[in-house]
Copies of this chain bind each other. A is one copy, B any other.
């Protein structure tokens, strides 16, 4: 089946691609589904009574599919523009008191880090870093241990990624949630799912979080400019919306009408206003293609086998330092190469051979991503070229 899926993805035809965690390639039929939706909107509307039922159906159908993948109810799912707006927009509405603590892992995206700092500054919260990078043996036990050490009676918010974008390690969400809530019941667990959705099965874990943010355009191979969040019932009821638009409101009421009870009592409370509806069909089509390509079990097996193959191959090369100490259980393989000062030049050199991996910023090392459409030959080529390059640098 793998060959069929690749055939549908134009971006894979002229390159060897290992940046699924940066942006996934868009299948041709997903772009066609987007275009088709635009044509329907223009045929029915764009602003007519005939259009609204179509738009609402697009939204509901898409939310239902996303909700299934997240293992949650549709009413707890809101659509967003990207991971950052999904992570950050809702947390500005958390009711906090000066002196409380926001704990954030040191493996989070710089945008989320900067927003967290700003949130703490304005609300007089303590910005506290959860040090994961320094952990010698990265395993569930050590992560939980480090978290417990950093929790106290003032901890209000914990921000962490489900799969750490730099290490590629999948954190134990359930145990972390238990740890956090045991420490203080009315705290919030905010989870960045940038590296999970479309990559690994998460339907048994998302609901342990209070907020879980995903995007269409990475592992799910959908269009850019579309994301979604899961928000728990408690999060919906206890927090306020911040960036408000017609989508947050029960109805578009007059300024002189009563202003209480304005907002939807589900996740729509955190949606804003007009977004690009045609993108939804693109995401649905991509998810459908990934599902039809192979079962969740086959996908996981394939990804593990190929990332394991890459790991084994790189580990034989003495100048390459694999970031984790044992084989990865997902599609992210991070590594460093001794004696390479200019990492960007190295990536550029690989790129000249149509092989694309990326440099991560923090810490600075390389990341290669293996997806269900990655082939044995691609892994062989990548390993060989990585081994060849340093000598000729």
A interface residues (Cβ-Cβ under 8 A, vs B): 10-11, 14-15, 19, 22-26, 31, 34-35, 38-39, 42-43, 45-50, 81-85, 88-89, 92, 104, 106, 108-111, 113-115, 117-118, 122, 129, 215, 217, 223-226, 240-246, 248-249, 251-256, 259, 262-263, 272-277, 279, 347-348, 351, 356, 358, 361-363
Contacts and interface: CB of A to CB of B under 8 A. Distances in A.
A262 to B, nearest CB: 5
Identify the 7 closest CB pairs spanning chains A and B, nearest first. Answer: A225-B276, A84-B245, A22-B47, A254-B362, A84-B273, A111-B245, A115-B244
B47 A356 contact: yes
B118 A11 contact: no
Nearest to A117: B259
Contact of A254 (B24, B259, B361): B361
B47 A358 contact: yes
B254 A224 contact: no
Contact of A245 (B47, B88, B363): B88
A380 B109 CA distance: 58
A71 to B, nearest CB: 25
Nearest to A31: B38
B114 A248 contact: yes
Q: Which of A25, A240, A276 has the most chain B CB atoms closer than 10 A to its own CB?
A: A276
Given A14-B43, A223-B276, A245 B118 contact: no
Given A25-B46, A111-B244, A225 B279 contact: yes
Contacts of A351: 48-50
B49 A272 contact: no
B81 A246 contact: no
Contact of A259 (B35, B114, B263): B114
A272 B35 contact: no
Contact of A246 (B14, B45, B110, B272): B110
Contact of A25 (B42, B49, B122, B241): B42
